[in-house]
């Protein structure tokens, strides 16, 4: 069994605790690697190393173009190691190999994008309202960034933070989920090979209370970037607040996917299925509330249930598998509890609604694709994030009714609209309280555009030019071009 080590200050080292914990395959349930159990001592070492690196000429002395070259080198190494990284991540979190391989290739593209953006951050000259003064604005890095990442897409969601943070000139300490740390430690090996100076990239593994909180609270931490549930994000925000640290929080969702009666119904069915059953529903942007116009409700539901019922479920390492296991036992148990809660609330289970067991399901950490009808928007199953393959179908009368239902939730991460009417589509785009709105598609993402949420779905944005701004601070510079002979006691 492989035993990993922490990556701090350019060295691979044992945790202060001298303890490790096992990581298991969700499909087989077998332990396959040991992960270091970091504690506050490791957190302190990593933050201090990152702070030294931030101030060092080896990093601070690089031009933005030189930083970009390092990011490009890392991207090339990722491209050469796609299969290995994908296999490790798939083994650790149980995601479909068909999806993981594409995600890892996309990770390389994120690093290429921010490598190119590193030297495109431009300040401005201000036409100041004072004579004989030259004023300009420049952007500077923040310092040490702590990135706390989840178990559902470790490499992708770490990259969403790491690439813009480094492009902006910060240093970083990454704390991956205790369930899925292996692929991030492998990424650190590639960062070391790419030639990043000591301390610029650090990875400390372990549990939230033991190492995550000390990383957030450390006096030298300048910024925290977190992806996870809204409760976890709230705790991170509270821990960061006393130090007035900047935060980016990409949190949960209960996203509406709205189907009008003039939509291309075949495409809408496919969009509804991929929107909530892709990644076994373990994605923050899942379209877990399907709003269907009453005039087509029964026909649409019948078609959807039939299509979802044909999903190929099983071993995620097989390229033709469409739904794999739930990544963690705790999450599997939570999903089953919420399914029972929905039944108790009076929702009608039209498909699934139970765990799956048998030889084709490994050690049994599977939930059947589940569809509920007869759902009211005030039910807990329609208001709380399940993070699993569970879909709620809610009927609506007309456009205003759909928008009211869609916005009547504490989250605002994403939304989908299916219609052939361009005016209706644009009206919905304007009225939906969500950070991303897809029209006649769902779950599309790109490194070129921002992603993030309204309301309890988070703070800040990841992706695109917007993301690098999250890791910069603004400085205004005033230069006198002519001596001031005025009274020094009077403000000029």
Lowest pLDDT segment from 117-126, 285-294, 475-484? 475-484
Rounded CA-CA distance 33/5 in Å is 11
pLDDT digits (tens, 9 = 90+) for 1-17: 899 999 999 999 999 99
pLDDT digits (tens, 9 = 90+) for 45-84: 999 999 999 999 999 999 999 999 999 999 999 999 999 9
Per-residue confidence band for 492, with pLDDT thresholds at 50, 70 and 90: low
pLDDT digits (tens, 9 = 90+) for 450-467: 999 999 999 999 999 999
Per-residue confidence band for 307, with pLDDT thresholds at 50, 70 and 90: very high
Task: Please give the model's pTM, rounded to 2 decimal places.
Answer: 0.96
Per-residue confidence band for 489, with pLDDT thresholds at 50, 70 and 90: confident
Catalytic (active site) residue 22: no
Out of 25, 89, 178, 250, the active site residue is 250
According to the 3-state scheme, what is the secondary structure of the chain? CEECCEEECCEEECCCCCCEEEEECCCCCCEEEEEECCCHHHHHHHHHHHHHHHHCHHHHCCCHHHHHHHHHHHHHHHHHCHHHHHHHHHHHHCCCHHHHHHHHHHHHHHHHHHHHHHHHCCCEEECCCCCCEEEEEEEEECCEEEEECCCCCHHHHHHHHHHHHHHCCCEEEEECCCCCCHHHHHHHHHHHHHCCCCCCEEECCCCHHHHHHHHHHCCCEEEEEEECCHHHHHHHHHHHHHHCCEEEEECCCCCEEEECCCCCHHHHHHHHHHHHHHHHHCCCCCCCEEEEECCCHHHHHHHHHHHHCCCCECCCCCCCCCECCCCCHHHHHHHHHHHHHHHHHCCEEEECCCEECCHHHCCCCEECCEEEECCCCCCHHHHCCCCCCEEEEEEECCHHHHHHHHHCCCEECEEEEECCCHHHHHHHHHHCCCCEEEECCCCCCCCCCCECCEECCEECCECHHHHHHCCEEEEEEEEECCCCCCCCCCCC
pLDDT digits (tens, 9 = 90+) for 319-329: 999 999 999 99
Q: What is the pLDDT of residue 364?
A: 82
Q: What is the pLDDT of residue 322?
A: 95
pLDDT digits (tens, 9 = 90+) for 144-175: 999 999 999 999 999 999 999 999 999 999 99
């Amino acid at each position: 069994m492989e035993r990993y080590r922490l990556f701090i200050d350019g060295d691979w080292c044992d945790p202060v605790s001298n303890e490790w914990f096992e990581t298991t395959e969700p499909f087989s349930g077998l332990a396959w690697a040991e992960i270091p159990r970091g504690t506050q001592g490791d957190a302190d070492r990593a933050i201090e190393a990152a702070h030294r690196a931030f101030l060092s000429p080896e990093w601070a002395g690089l031009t933005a173009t030189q930083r970009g070259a390092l990011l490009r080198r890392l991207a090339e190494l990722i491209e050469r190691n796609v299969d290995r990284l994908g296999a490790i991540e798939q083994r650790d979190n149980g995601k479909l190999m068909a999806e993981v391989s594409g995600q890892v290739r996309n990770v390389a593209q994120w690093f290429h994008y921010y490598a190119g953006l590193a030297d495109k951050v431009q300040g401005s000259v201000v036409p100041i309202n004072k004579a004989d003064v030259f004023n300009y604005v420049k952007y500077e890095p923040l310092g040490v960034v702590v990135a706390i990442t989840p178990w559902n897409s470790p490499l992708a969601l770490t990259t969403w933070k790491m690439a813009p943070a480094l492009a902006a000139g910060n240093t970083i300490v990454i704390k991956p989920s205790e369930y899925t740390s292996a692929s991030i430690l492998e990424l650190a090996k590639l960062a070391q090979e790419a030639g990043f100076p000591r301390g610029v990239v650090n990875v400390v593994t372990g549990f939230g209370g033991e190492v995550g909180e000390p990383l957030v609270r450390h006096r030298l931490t300048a910024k925290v970037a977190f992806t996870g549930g809204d409760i976890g994000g709230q705790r991170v925000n509270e821990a960061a607040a006393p130090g007035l640290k900047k935060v980016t929080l990409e949190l949960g969702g209960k996203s509406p996917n709205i189907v009008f009666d003039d939509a291309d119904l075949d495409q809408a069915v496919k969009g509804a299925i991929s929107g909530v059953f892709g990644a076994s529903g373990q994605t923050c942007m899942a379209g877990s509330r399907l709003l269907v116009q009453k005039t087509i409700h029964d026909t649409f539901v019948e078609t959807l249930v039939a299509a979802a019922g044909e999903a190929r479920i099983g071993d995620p390492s097989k390229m033709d598998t469409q739904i794999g296991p739930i990544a963690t036992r705790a999450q599997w148990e939570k999903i089953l509890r919420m399914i029972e809660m929905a039944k108790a609330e009076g929702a009608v289970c039209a498909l699934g609604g139970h765990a799956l067991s048998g030889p084709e399901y490994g050690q049994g950490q599977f939930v059947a694709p589940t569809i509920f009808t007869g759902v009211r928007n005030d039910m807990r199953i329609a208001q709380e994030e399940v993070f699993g393959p569970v879909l709620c179908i809610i009927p609506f009368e007309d456009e205003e009714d759909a928008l009211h239902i869609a916005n009547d939730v504490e989250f605002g991460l994403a939304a989908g609209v299916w219609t052939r009417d361009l005016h209706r589509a644009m009206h919905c785009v304007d009225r939906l309280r969500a950070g991303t709105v897809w029209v006649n598609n769902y779950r599309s993402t790109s490194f070129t555009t921002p992603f993030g949420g309204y309301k309890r779905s988070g703070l800040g944005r990841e992706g695109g030019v917007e993301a690098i701004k999250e890791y910069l601070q603004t400085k205004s510079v005033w230069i006198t071009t002519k001596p001031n002979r005025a009274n020094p006691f009077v403000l000029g």
